């Protein structure tokens, strides 16, 4: 179970106007602006739930994921994931979670994907039997087959994303955080990724928290939606709550953003 209670996080960001003169000035005197990435964020996610976490760019989605996966320490509030405080108990915590950042790769660029997997096996100290079993299952579900033998740099984005998903699940985590897993993918790959996430949730009861801008992801995957804007939780409900009129979902969401003025 994941609980966040009154979690706040702010960053100091250096600001300057455009131009060389300004850049020179900022070398000596820098103005900082405090950005409140998260303000009193609270929510609870139960085991086996699949939750879509949406909001415009810069709303605080990634910050939330980073706090939940132990990368960032919140300024304020309590975070508990299966009884662990992620940023305090980092090593024990990350054994039980899988994380995919859609914009970054966790695979070694120049070696065949299978080499990366083998290394992950050692990093997570996965036993040979469960490694073999997990790999077989993931290979079949994600149709990896031949991909495993090519270096990551030669894969297409869609192929790579399938490998990333497999890489984050080799140690059979109970919780999966996905930060924009379908970003930049073509239709076929998107469908494959969605299909896989759904199956994973059904078969292993994996708790999934995914951020996305693609409303079809949400439609296909999650019953529950948490909407965040300007660092605050604006809505926590179901897809039906949003789709009151039943019109196009993108428009509905845009309308929702506008109504909350984010």
Partner 1 sequence: MPKNYRDKNGDVPTNNATGDVSKNTMAQDESSFVAKKTSALKLWMRYIGINVRCTMQYKTSFFMMVLGQFFVSFSVFLGVYFMFQRFHSVKGYTYQEVLLCFAVFLMEFSIAEMVARGFDSFSSMVRTGSFDQVLVRPRNEVLQVLGSKFELTRIGRMLQALLMFVYAIPRCGVDWNFAKVLTLLFMLIGGTALFSGIFMIYAAFCFFTLEGLEFMNVFTDGAREHGKYPIDVYGKKMLFFGTFIIPYALVQYYPLTYVIGKNDNPLLIFLPLLALLFLLPSYAFWRFGVRSYCSSGS
Q: Which residues bind partner 1 (CB under 8 A)?
A: 11, 62, 66, 69-73, 90-92, 94-95, 97, 99, 101, 103-104, 106, 108-111, 115-116, 118-119, 122-125, 151, 179-180
Nearer to partner 1, 131 or 242 (CB): 131
The least distance separating partner 1 from the CB of residue 10, rounded to whole angstroms, comes to: 10
Q: Whole-angstrom Cα distance, residue 115 to residue 98?
A: 19
Nearer to partner 1, 86 or 242 (CB): 86
Extract the runs of DSSP E, i.e. beta strands, from 102-242: 175-179, 207-211, 224-229, 232-238
Q: 228-250 as b/e, with b when 16 or more CB fall inside 10 Å?
A: bbbbbbbeeeebeebeeeeeebe
| DSSP state, residue 148 | G
Using the structure block, give the residue that is written with the tokens 């292993």.
204
Q: Whole-angstrom Cα distance, residue 29 to residue 24?
A: 9
Q: How far is CA 164 from CA 59, 155, 187, in A?
A: 25, 11, 18
Nearer to partner 1, 61 or 242 (CB): 61
The least distance separating partner 1 from the CB of residue 71, rounded to whole angstroms, comes to: 5
Q: Find out whether 147 and 162 touch, Cβ atoms under 8 Å.
A: yes
The least distance separating partner 1 from the CB of residue 209, rounded to whole angstroms, comes to: 14
SS3 139: helix
* Nearest-5° Cα angle at 120, 131 to 196: 65
The closest alpha carbon to 156, from 192, 124, 119, belongs to 192
The least distance separating partner 1 from the CB of residue 69, rounded to whole angstroms, comes to: 5
Nearer to partner 1, 94 or 138 (CB): 94
Nearer to partner 1, 119 or 220 (CB): 119
The least distance separating partner 1 from the CB of residue 29, rounded to whole angstroms, comes to: 17
The least distance separating partner 1 from the CB of residue 223, rounded to whole angstroms, comes to: 25
Environment class of 145 (CB within 10 Å of its CB; exposed 0-12, middle 13-18, buried 19+): exposed
- Name the β-bridge partners of 10: 36
Q: How many residues does the chain have?
A: 262
Nearer to partner 1, 114 or 191 (CB): 114
Nearer to partner 1, 84 or 242 (CB): 84
The least distance separating partner 1 from the CB of residue 254, rounded to whole angstroms, comes to: 20
């Amino acid at each position: 179970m994941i609980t966040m209670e009154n979690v706040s996080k702010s960053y100091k960001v250096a600001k300057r106007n455009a131009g060389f003169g300004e850049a020179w000035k900022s070398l000596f005197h820098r103005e900082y602006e405090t950005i409140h990435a998260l303000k009193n964020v609270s929510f609870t996610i139960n085991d086996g739930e699949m939750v879509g976490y949406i909001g415009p760019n810069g709303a605080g989605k990634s910050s939330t994921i980073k706090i939940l996966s132990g990368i960032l320490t919140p300024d304020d509030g309590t975070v508990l994931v299966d009884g662990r405080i992620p940023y305090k108990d980092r090593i024990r915590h990350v054994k039980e979670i899988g994380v995919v950042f859609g914009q970054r790769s966790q695979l070694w660029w120049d070696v065949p994907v299978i080499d990366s997997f083998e290394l992950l096996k050692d990093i997570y100290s996965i036993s040979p039997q469960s490694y073999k079993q997990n790999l077989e299952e993931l290979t079949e579900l994600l149709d990896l087959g031949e991909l495993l033998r090519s270096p990551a740099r030669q894969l297409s984005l869609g192929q790579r994303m399938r490998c990333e998903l497999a890489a984050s699940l080799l140690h059979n985590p109970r919780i999966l955080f996905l930060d924009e897993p379908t970003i930049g993918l073509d239709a076929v790959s998107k469908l494959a990724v969605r299909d896989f996430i759904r199956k994973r949730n059904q078969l292993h009861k994996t708790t999934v928290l995914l951020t996305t801008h693609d409303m079809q992801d949400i439609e296909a995957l999650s019953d529950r939606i948490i909407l965040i804007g300007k660092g605050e939780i604006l809505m926590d409900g179901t897809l039906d709550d949003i789709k009151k009129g039943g019109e196009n979902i993108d428009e509905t969401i845009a309308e929702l953003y506008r109504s909350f003025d984010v």
